[in-house]
Amino acid sequence: MQLDLICQRDNTVYMDITKTVLLLVDVQNDFCPGGALAVQDGDGIIAPLNRLAAAFAAAGGRVAATQDWHPQGHFSFASSHTDKKPGDIITLASREQVLWPDHCVQGESGSAFHSGLDLTPINMIIRKGFRKDLDSYSAFFENDRITPTGLAGWIQGLGIETIIIGGLATDYCVLYSAMDSQRLGFNTVIIEDAVRGVNYPAGSVEKAIAEMRAANIRFADSAQLLQELC
């Protein structure tokens, strides 16, 4: 993958941090251990994300973060449907929807960023999924695939070329965000040690990774990316 290159020294290629955004996807209490929709080892992504975000801030780079921000009774909650349970799949407006436990309810503790995440470097926070009858996995579009969250406009206005993504969960919000990033024409990189998956249904994490690789999305660990930033 061609990244925004500005220098090469000692056979190491560097990214232009002024044309790169670090995107932190849904690092929220409800997706971390002890939360309503906990991802196994979800809090294991926080240390590498904090290191990268600090490096971005030190170099004048930009960091964005997303939050699931659902109202009470959101239609993606199994509790909003008679005789349904978490994990069931329904069809509404010709879209399949996995039903989840109530999670990331606006203003409640589960919707807050994990306390271990350093918020200081974050320049932009995008809240998504706040429409009662429309879910949102992607950081860029609601699940109707039409309604924008506003993130793309902010990033495009900055002249950004590369988006580096970490967060939760690999097989849902990270996948959708990465695929939209690539579709919008950005060089897209997944921080492989700073994502974790739900793996529902079984095998969905492997399927998501294969789909992203097939779309020419790059995978790199945080240590490698720290070396490439300049």
**Strand intervals (E) in the chain:** 5-9, 12-15, 20-25, 62-68, 89-92, 95-98, 124-128, 162-168, 187-196, 218-220
| Catalytic option among 128, 135, 180, 193 | 128
Both tokens of 229, joined, read: 């930033």
DSSP state of 105: B
85 given a catalytic annotation: no
Other C-beta atoms lying within 10 Å of the C-beta of residue 173: 25
Burial group, residue 145, by CB count within 10 angstroms (0-12, 13-18, 19+): exposed
Say whether 225 sits in a helix, a strand or coil.
helix
128 given a catalytic annotation: yes
Question: Residue 49: which residues within 8 A CB-CB, separation 6 or more?
Answer: 24, 27, 117, 166, 167, 191, 194, 222
| Catalytic option among 30, 68, 104, 173 | 173
The closest alpha carbon to 30, from 82, 108, 91, belongs to 108
Residue with the two structure tokens 């492997």: 206
| Catalytic option among 26, 30, 68, 102 | 26
26 given a catalytic annotation: yes
| Whether 23 contacts 177, CB under 8 Å | yes
Element (H, E) at 79: none
Catalytically active residues, by annotation: 26, 128, 173
